[in-house]
Amino acid sequence: MDSLKLFTTIRCDLELLKVPDQVSPDVGWNQKPSPFYMLDFHRDRMLKAAIYWGWDAAIRTLDGEAGLNGLETLLRDNVTELSDTPYSAKVLIDRDGNLSIIKGPTGLVHLNNLFPSYLPAPSGSLTKESSEVGRVPERDFAYEILVDEQATSKSEFTHFKTTHRPMYEEARRRASINNITEKREVLLVNKDDGSIMEGSITTPHFWRNGRWVTPPVAREFNIALGSGGNSGTTRRWALERNLVVEEIVPVDSLVDGEECWISNALRGFIHGRVKLV
Q: What backbone phi and psi angles, to 5 degrees, belong to 25?
A: -80, 50
Distance CA(119)–CA(252), nearest Å, equals 23
Is the same domain home to 177 and 59? no
Q: What type of residue sits at position 73?
A: T
Predicted confidence (pLDDT) per residue in 181-213, tens digit? 899 999 999 999 999 999 999 999 999 999 999
Element (H, E) at 212: strand 211-214
Do residues 165 and 93 share a domain?
no
The pLDDT tens digits for 216-233 are 999 999 999 999 999 999
| 131 and 89 part of one domain | no
234 within some domain: yes
152 and 45 co-located in one domain: no
173 shares a domain with 212: yes
Give the pLDDT band of residue 131 (cuts 50, 70, 90): low
Pair 149, 244 in one domain? yes
Domain carrying residue 143: 112-274
Query: What is the per-residue pLDDT for 151?
Result: 98
What distance in Å separates the CA atoms of residue 32 and residue 163, rounded to the nearest whole number? 31
Angle between helices 39-53 and 64-78 (to 10 degrees): 120
For residues 128 and 171, state if they share a domain: yes
Q: Are residues 194 and 234 in the same domain?
A: yes
Query: Does any domain span residue 95?
Result: yes
- Partnered with residue 261 across adjacent β-strands are 205, 271
In a domain, 215, yes or no: yes
Closest CA relative to residue 30, chosen from 42, 41, 19: 19
pLDDT at 71: 98
Residue 189's CATH number = 3.20.10.10
Number of domains in the chain: 2
CATH number at residue 49: 3.30.470
Evaluate whether 47 touches 97 at the Cβ level (below 8 Å).
no
Q: State the Cα–Cα distance between residues 6 and 4, nearest whole angstrom.
A: 7
pLDDT band at 101 (very low <50, low <70, confident <90, very high): very high
Confidence label for 26 from pLDDT (cuts 50, 70 and 90) = confident
The total of other beta-carbon atoms located within 10 Å of residue 30's CB is 23
Could you give the residue ranges of the DSSP H alpha helices within 147-227? 156-159, 166-174
Residues 189 and 206 in one domain: yes
Question: Would strands 184-190 and 259-264 be described as parallel, antiparallel, or unpaired?
Answer: unpaired
Q: Is the pLDDT of residue 49 over 60?
A: yes
| Domain final position from 89, 108, 127 | 108
CB 241 within 8 A of CB 116: no
Within-domain flag for 1: no
pLDDT at 106 over 80: yes
